[in-house]
């Protein structure tokens, strides 16, 4: 994936607004028991069809992952996201809210870690030692500073990360916040709704 494509997706993630509507996808169970998630109706040969609720950006992220579809009012460009709930990481005496945002576009995808874009909760300029660990997989370092509220991963690392997230049971972040030098570990992020939200975001991007 090109650097320019990564920058476009990162910019889309940063432009995420609270105006996106809620969406739903279909959970399709085939006769052999295989389960898939898609926006379109399940094929007639499917054994079962269930509508899976996902959450739009208008609701505050709680204990579940959410699927977000955003359309730019000026350009009409559509971006598709899967966002984790916020986890709270101690920075000195303050708890900082951070979340993982997975962005899907035409033939490209990106992963960022974000804080809330208000107040003084800023990522440190020193990214060394910061990263994410999914289950028993290797620790993946954060290597890109997007702005003071958003950091990201290399193209190789984010591809690994998205593959790992699809079946994850445990996700933890290690972060550092300005002006403190100490690395802080998050509690485990909830994975409730994660698989459905990732599938919905991928299906959304496939229709662009």
Q: Is the dihedral of CA 54, 60, 63, 66 positive or negative?
A: positive
β-pairing, 140-141 vs 144-147, is unpaired
* Burial class of residue 204 in the structure, from the number of CB atoms within 10 Å of its CB (0-12 exposed, 13-18 middle, 19+ buried): buried
Short-list 152, 174, 130, 189, CA closest to 9: 152
pLDDT tens for each residue of 67-126: 998 888 888 888 899 999 988 888 877 788 899 999 998 778 899 999 876 666 789 999
Cα angle vertex 19, ends 15, 22, to 5°?
115
Is the pLDDT assigned to residue 203 strictly greater than 50?
yes
At 68, give phi and psi (nearest 5°).
Answer: -130, 125
Mean pLDDT of 50-78: 67
* Burial class of residue 169 in the structure, from the number of CB atoms within 10 Å of its CB (0-12 exposed, 13-18 middle, 19+ buried): exposed
Alpha-carbon span 56 to 18, nearest angstrom: 8
β-pairing, 87-91 vs 78-83, is unpaired
Calculate Rg over the CA atoms of the chain: 17
pLDDT tens for each residue of 118-164: 666 789 999 999 999 999 999 999 999 999 999 999 999 999 999 99
Tell me the domain boundaries of the chain: 3-206
Six token digits for residue 37: 């998630």
């Amino acid at each position: 994936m090109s650097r320019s494509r990564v920058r476009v997706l990162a910019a889309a993630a940063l432009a995420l607004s609270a105006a996106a509507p809620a969406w739903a996808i279909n959970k399709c169970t085939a006769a052999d028991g295989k389960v898939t998630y898609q926006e379109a109706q399940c094929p007639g040969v499917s054994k079962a069809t269930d509508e899976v609720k996902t959450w739009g950006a208008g609701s505050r992220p709680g204990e579940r992952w959410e699927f977000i579809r955003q359309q730019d009012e000026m350009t009409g460009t559509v971006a598709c996201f899967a966002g984790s709930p916020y986890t709270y990481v101690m920075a000195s005496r303050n708890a900082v809210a951070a979340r993982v945002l997975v962005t899907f576009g035409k033939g490209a995808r990106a992963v960022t870690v974000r804080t809330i874009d208000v107040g003084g909760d800023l990522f440190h300029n020193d990214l060394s030692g910061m990263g994410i660990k999914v289950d028993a997989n290797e620790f993946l370092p954060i290597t890109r500073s997007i702005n003071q509220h958003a950091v990201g991963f290399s193209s190789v690392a984010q591809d690994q990360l998205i593959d790992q997230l699809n079946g994850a049971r445990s996700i933890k972040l290690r972060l550092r916040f300005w002006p403190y030098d100490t690395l802080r570990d998050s509690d485990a992020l909830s994975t409730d709704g994660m698989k459905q939200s990732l599938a919905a975001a991928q299906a959304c991007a496939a229709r662009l």
